Chains A and B, each alone.
Chain A
Amino acid sequence: MEMKVNRRQFFKVCGSGLAGSSLAMLGMSPQEVMAEVRAFKLSRTTEARNTCPYCSVSCGVILYTMGDKAKNVKSRIVHVEGDPDHPVNRGTLCPKGAGLLDIVHSPNRATVPEVREPGSKEWKPISWDDAFARIAKHLKADRDANFVEKNDKGLTVNRWNTTGLLVSSASSNESGYLTVKTARSMGMVALDTQARI
């Protein structure tokens, strides 16, 4: 096709082209009015319900773990938030609870049992088996030495006054029942829960 451009049309085309590109250079090119928010970071995480370990209120929390627990994935907790379905806190958390993620991954966190021997300044990591054996040994030694079977009137009392047990406030009713049964069956008197601290 043959294009016929006369002198006037040529100047029009040149002029509008120059004006348009100049305006675009000056930042006046029309841009789409759009923007996107940050992608929702929990969309494919795995949720697990848990209890805040800090105080006796025992708020419900949700642990958000990356990955779908596939065989070749190492899960890691990436976010912690209050559990809206938990009757205690209904989704809310105090500043300590809201920052739980940072104690989960804290380098200072105790992850294995440790023992500080009498006279020592050092905490020494030990295995769980050693820890349980050690606790049992100490309990037995103390109970054998200090158990009170009868009081001064000759009444059977079966008291063990020299050792106490402090239990978690985050226990369920069932584990609370078992804890009391275990401690009382040995005669332990000083039994308390962190819920009162």
Chain B
Amino acid sequence: MALQSLNVTKRSATTTQPPSVRTAEEPVAKLIDVSKCIGCKACQVACMQWNDLRDEVGTNVGVYDNPSNLTDQSWTVMRFAEYSKPDGDMEWLIRKDGCMHCEDPGCLKACPSPGAIVKYANGIVDFISDNCIGCGYCVAGCPFDVPRISKKDSKAYKCTLCSDRVAVGLEPACVKTCPTGAIQYGAKTDMVLRAEKRVGDLKERGFQKAALYNPAGVGGTHVMYVLQHGDDPERYSGLPSNPSISPWVSVWKGAAKPLASLAIGLAMLGAFFHYVTRGPKDEHAEGESK
């Protein structure tokens, strides 16, 4: 297999350069307009249908969130936030949670297994399960707490942005099914334009702080939100207002890695010299002396 359906730009724990002359490939994006979402969960069902997943039937936890969190079988979950406004009124803020497909993915940076996480030229961050060793570093590296390790096969799973559909020119399954048009898909530049128009609409309708959520801390994302209250993303079930990759990931994969390699090398060299100068350990003699 020499070529692939989607060009790869980044590959976990790999330093070789990817084939990179095809530069005209357009980055894609999914735009989730929280102000248009009615929380019907069609996206959750479409996701499971397309990806051949069936989560366990859960129990009611007192809110509409079902399942109550992302799982290895539920790669997207509607989070229903009940926000009490200062005037006593309640606001229901429904956010479709799932992988944000960061331009600078923390999971990929943290992943120690070569090729378990890749980023395609169109911006999709994908887990290649065959190469996953189930260490869970991607969970620690993710600023949005998205990947989940399966108890069944100890591999990490998350939204693929339907990379298998995108590769043949289709939109992700959740986008196709969304009855209110709250989820849109297209080239990232087009999605940003569309979001700006919608933000303008919302501002005219009294949401003065409406904004596009495309956080710079992770280089922007390929899943973006239109938020009515863009000044306070935390209101939407704890969406981080300024997400960034934990500095420990950089230490671990940056400075610590060559040092650790050096330590391993020195240990081997030491063992070799010890063997040369002292010879093999003579257990037999020790046993006799006792």
Contact = CB atoms under 8 A, between A and B. Distances in A.
Interface of A: 22, 26-28, 30-41, 43, 79-82, 84, 89, 91-95, 97-99, 101
Given A30-B15, A33-B17, A33-B19, A95 B42 contact: yes
B177 A33 contact: no
B176 A94 contact: no
Interface of B: 1, 4-6, 8, 10-11, 13-19, 40-42, 44-46, 48-50, 114-115, 118, 120, 126, 128, 160, 163-168, 173, 176-179, 181, 261, 264-265, 268
26 contacts: A26-B264, A30-B16, A31-B14, A31-B114, A33-B17, A33-B18, A35-B4, A35-B8, A35-B115, A35-B128, A36-B5, A37-B6, A37-B160, A37-B163, A37-B166, A79-B50, A80-B49, A81-B49, A81-B177, A91-B177, A92-B176, A92-B178, A94-B179, A95-B40, A95-B42, A98-B42
Contacts of A27: 13, 114
B16 A37 contact: no
Contact of A35 (B11, B17, B45, B268): B11
B172 to A, nearest CB: 12
B278 to A, nearest CB: 21
A41 B163 CA distance: 12
A163 to B, nearest CB: 36
Shortest 9 CB-CB contacts between residues of A and residues of B: A33-B18, A98-B45, A35-B118, A37-B163, A38-B164, A95-B42, A98-B46, A95-B45, A33-B11
Given A22-B265, A22-B268, A31-B16, A99 B4 contact: no
Nearest to B183: A92
Contact of B44 (A28, A39, A40, A95): A95
B102 to A, nearest CB: 17
Given A37-B6, A40-B168, A94-B179, 20 more contacts: A31-B11, A31-B14, A33-B10, A33-B16, A34-B8, A34-B11, A35-B4, A35-B120, A37-B164, A38-B160, A39-B164, A43-B168, A79-B49, A79-B50, A82-B176, A82-B177, A84-B176, A94-B42, A95-B44, A98-B45
